[in-house]
Structure formats: C-alpha cells, structure tokens
Amino acid sequence: MSIPQKKIYTIYLPIALVNAIDAMHIDGVRRTTAIQIVWSILLCQKRAFRDEESFVTIPRSYFLAISSNCYRALTPLKEVTTHHGAPQAIVEVERNAQGKESYSKDKSRPKGYRVNPKFLKGPLVTVTYTGDSKRRKQRTLSAQMHTWLQSDSAQLTIEGDEARRYTNDYVSNLDLQEWRVDDTSAEYRDDEVLIDVRFGTRSKTYNCKTRALLKKLHQAGNGEQVFRAGKGGFVVATASEFKRRKVDDILRGWKRAIRGLEENSFEPERVSTNNRLVTQLTEFPKQLLPFVLVDGVELEEVDIANSQVAFLVFVLEHGDILGAGLTIPPLTSSPETRRFFEEAKAGTIYQDFARCCGRERDWGKREIFRLLFSSNPAQWPSWKKFVEQYGAVATWLLEFNRVNQERFGNEDAPRNLAVYLQRLEADIMIDRVYPRLKQAELTAFTKHDSLLCPPWDCREATAIMKQVFAEVGFEAVVSIKPTIHPPVAAPIIQPSVTLPWPTTPTLSWKASSSNELLSEDDLQDLLDVLGSLEESQGQVL
C-alpha cells in the first residue's frame, strides 16, 4: 500500500471567499484545513443542488479544527428546528463506517455549516494548497520503468488554448441523446429493469422497469426524463438539470486534464489491484487526444480489437496463466465454442453478436461486457441470444460464477474475472511489450490495452507487439488508428463570476430497499411525493 504523498492542488474560488479563508487561517485554523472544509461544503451544496441558504453536515474531525471565532467564511446552524423538532435543511453527506451520521450530537455544537452566501459572488481567483494525495493501492515502479516514462512524458506537448476552445464548444453544443433513455433506446425495446435509478440528486436509488418508468414520467408531464449516469446507474431529471451537471463534470475533468499535461505534474503509478499502469494519458479524454503532440505531430493509436474477450479466450485455452489461484472450469468443445474463439480472435465478436440480435456494435459491446462480468448474467434480456450463439461458453460462465462465488462470495467472482483479465493484459502490455519498445528506442505511451505513438514509430511498435503476442501464444488483431481531429472550436466562453444555486426540496419519503423492483403502484406513489415536494418550494416534510 502506498504512503500518502504531499501534492499541490489548484481550485478556483471567489476572491471574497479567499480573503475570508485567510482570516480563518489568521485565527488559528491551518490554511489547508480551512480550504478543504470550505471547498467540501461548497461542493456538497452545489452537488446536491441546494440553494445557498442550506446547511451541510461535516465530519467530527472538522469540528475540532474550527474554533468558535472562525466563522468569517462559514456560518453555523445551531438550534434552528422545524415544527417536527428536526434540524432544518441539513444535507446529510457524511457518515462513518457504521453508517451513522458523523456530525456532533452535542446540542452546544452546531448541527451544520454553510459557506457565507455574501462571499459567493465576484471574480474567481486561483487558490493552491498542499495536501495528502490519497491514491489507489499501488506498486513501486522500477527505476528503469520510471526513467522510460519520464523520458516519454517530457516529449509531450498540448495545444492548450485550442483544447480549451474545443472544450467550451463541445459543452455549449452538448447533445444529450448519447445519455437519454427513450422509446428508441435498447433499454426500452427490451423493457429492461433499470438498476440504481436515482431521482434528481437524491441519494436513494430504486430499480424500475423501463417502460413503466417512462410512461409514468410522460403522464406526470413535468419534463423529467431518464438518463444514463455512468457505472450502470440512471438518473431521472429534466434535460436542463442533467445537462448542467454533465457540463460541470466535463469542464472540471477536461480542463484538469489539459492543465496536468501543460504542467507535466502527473506521477505515473502501478495499481496493485489489477497491476495496470496509470499515466497522464491513460484516462485522458479521447476527444482531446488530437491536441496532444510529440514534436508537433498528433499521436496514433495501436489498438487490440475486443481485447478483454481475446484475453478471456487466451485463458480458456491455457488455464490460470498467472497462477493467481482462480478456478478455471473446463470448457466443452463445440461448434459454438469454436465460433466464440474465432470471432474473438478476429476482433469481430461485438458486431457479430449485435448483428445476430439486429442491433448496432456499441450495443453488442455493452452486452458482451455485461454478460461476461455479471454475477447473474441470466437476468439480462440478451442472455438467451448469447446461449443460442455460444452455448458452451455460456455454460462455462455460469459454472465459473458458481465455483468462484463459493470461494470469494457473491460479489467477488465477477470482479475477480475482470481483474484477472486486466492483470493478464498488464503482464503482456506493460511487463513484456513496453520494455521491448523502449529497448528499440521507440516513443510510446501505454493506454491499458493499446499504445499511443507518433506516426513514425507506429509500424515498428505494431510489429514488436505482434512478435511478443506470438511468443506467449496470444492471438488477436492489432490495428493502427489515427486520432480523429475534432471540428473547429468556437471562441472561448468566459466563465461566470457567480455561482448558481438552483433549488431542490429535501426528500424524506421512505420506500423499499434499493435492491427491490418498484411496482407500478410504488412508482406512482414515489412520483406523487416528488411532485408534492416540487410544489412545496423547499419545505421540509
């Protein structure tokens, strides 16, 4: 496990708020602590879409750091209660390991804090502070690997101004259809059970049938829609609310990535869980890659087609290659097995599976991943078609889940398969391919299952990759793909100097647990409660 390291963080705050934070520092609160407290509360208020009058609970350790004389930036909530006797408008955002609320129960202490609203307007300024970097568990990089990575990283440049223009142009013309679930979506056509549906910014999640949910929202007529929220979850919100949150996420993430490349401030790390190498380009937004240059030239990608499925076939053919102790059941040889192997090695399994289901390739990729790495693949509508196409592989998958669930528990078996394949990928790509590339004095940047190289090194890098694959017996299609240059961006949009605080009332309605499927009656009750909350204009039930 890595030791937390000191890292410099950069945020943007109104200048009046910065002056108030400095005053807290003068009164005895460490500047870093003051910034972290204020910034955390500010983010919680904004993320929860509360108005600027709302109070936020914070961890007990923060209470110890704030003295009674340090309320210049923060205002406390003490004995303000509703007629029910409950603290008013507190956003519950911090809980301890036992699930208990972590704000103080002592009546003499405040029940919550908020950033003083009078400091939330005015020009934004840059604020830097030093804090502990709590990174993922990681392995120590070898001196040779670190030298190679630093040498490659020093060659990278980015057209920062152009990338920022494109970022602002992208969010100003953001098309929500990519995330929207409607009557043209695969979820609707299959009437899937949507997992972890969240209404607005509320933390409670539900499971809902797609068609029933869309029907009820249409009948409600308040403009709310269903959007994919990442990591398999969904959110119900109006288009304007969802777009506002999406734009905020993109701007924050993309501009941080641009700044990181400009400053070359990212330290590479090797994650111990899956052994993958994380660099400044590993999770870099793909839309911005055309602005990343080596000697003034755009990079090209050397990619493995449907890599995770190809690595799975490698395991099915050779067993536990890494010696990690994962139980690999025997696979029955059949025409369906041969078809699965041939399509995976040819790099066409996503489109082939999608074609037999009458769908597009992206749908095929999503379903293949969902079936392979789900603890209960039979719950998905595409499972029957998967059994029809690859019967023996489907039987193996069920047996794999059964055997390993007995060893690792219900949640660990699918995760161990996914992590095992990622470790195998890292063993080949990082420990075998990358050193050979550097020994050949090529410039290359690993991106998990692919490489980013300048055009003059791509062909030789591809040849070396194929040579290593042949040595270990791994079969896959490797291709070179140029980064697609985005359209000309619009002029830079100047950031707002005020922080918006849209209002959303607090939800206190109790429902079934998140792993239960909402019936149509429960769904209607939920929507009725949400509707009444909208009409209440922020009153606490």
What is each CA distance from 217 to 49, 128, 234, 239, 392, in whole angstroms? 21, 44, 14, 13, 42
Torsion of CA 276, 399, 413, 229, to 10 degrees: 80
Same domain, 126 and 194: no
Does 499 reside within a domain?
no
Does 466 reside within a domain?
no
Q: In what order do the strands lie in the sheet with 112-115?
A: 74-77, 112-115, 55-56, 90-91
Other CB atoms closer than 10 Å to residue 235's CB: what's the count?
A: 24
pLDDT at 71: 54
What parts of the chain have a pLDDT lower than 70?
Answer: 1-7, 25-29, 44-72, 75-112, 131-140, 203, 408-415, 485-516, 525-526, 528-541
Give the residue from 115, 48, 39 showing the smallest Cα distance to 75. 115
Does 310 reside within a domain?
no
Q: What is the CA 529 to chain-centroid distance, rounded?
A: 30
Residues forming a β-bridge with 90: 55
pLDDT at 327: 82
Q: Which DSSP string do the residues of 27-41 spell out, in sequence order?
A: TT--HHHHHHHHHHH
Other CB atoms closer than 10 Å to residue 364's CB: what's the count?
A: 22
The last residue of a domain, from among 366, 396, 414: 414
Q: Between β-strands 55-56 and 90-91, what pairing exists: parallel, antiparallel or unpaired?
A: parallel
SS3 298: strand
Give the residue from 158, 179, 329, 350 showing the smallest Cα distance to 256. 158
Does 214 reside within a domain?
yes
Long-range contacts of 356-364 (CB under 8 A, 24+ apart): 356/385, 356/389, 357/382, 357/385, 359/186, 363/186
CA–CA gap between residue 345 and residue 340 (Å, rounded): 9
pLDDT at 293: 94
Q: Between β-strands 269-271 and 277-278, what pairing exists: parallel, antiparallel or unpaired?
A: antiparallel
Secondary structure of 109-124 in HEC code, one letter for each residue = CCCEEEECHHHCECCE
Same domain, 19 and 86: yes
- Say if CB 271 and CB 312 are below 8 A apart: no
Same domain, 188 and 126: no
Residue type, 393: V
Same domain, 128 and 10: yes
Does 238 reside within a domain?
yes
List all residues 6 or more positions away from 503 whose beta carbon is below 8 Å from its beta carbon: 49, 50, 51, 537, 538
pLDDT at 530: 63
Same domain, 43 and 123: yes
CA–CA gap between residue 407 and residue 474 (Å, rounded): 28
Element (H, E) at 61: helix 60-65
CA–CA gap between residue 428 and residue 434 (Å, rounded): 9
Same domain, 31 and 126: yes
Same domain, 44 and 117: yes
Same domain, 238 and 340: no
User: pLDDT per residue over 61-108, tens digit each?
Assistant: 555 555 544 556 776 665 443 333 333 334 333 444 444 444 434 444
The last residue of a domain, from among 77, 107, 132: 132
Q: How many domains does the chain have?
A: 3
The last residue of a domain, from among 70, 100, 132: 132
Q: Which domain holds residue 199?
A: 177-243
Does 470 reside within a domain?
no
> What's the DSSP call for residue 390?
S
Q: Between β-strands 445-447 and 55-56, what pairing exists: parallel, antiparallel or unpaired?
A: unpaired
> What's the DSSP call for residue 198?
E
CA quadruple 30, 32, 38, 40: dihedral sign:
negative
Same domain, 184 and 124: no
Same domain, 196 and 112: no
Spell 440-450 as b/e; 16+ CB within 10 A means b.
Answer: eebbbbbbbbb
Does 513 reside within a domain?
no
184 φ, ψ to 5°?
-100, -5
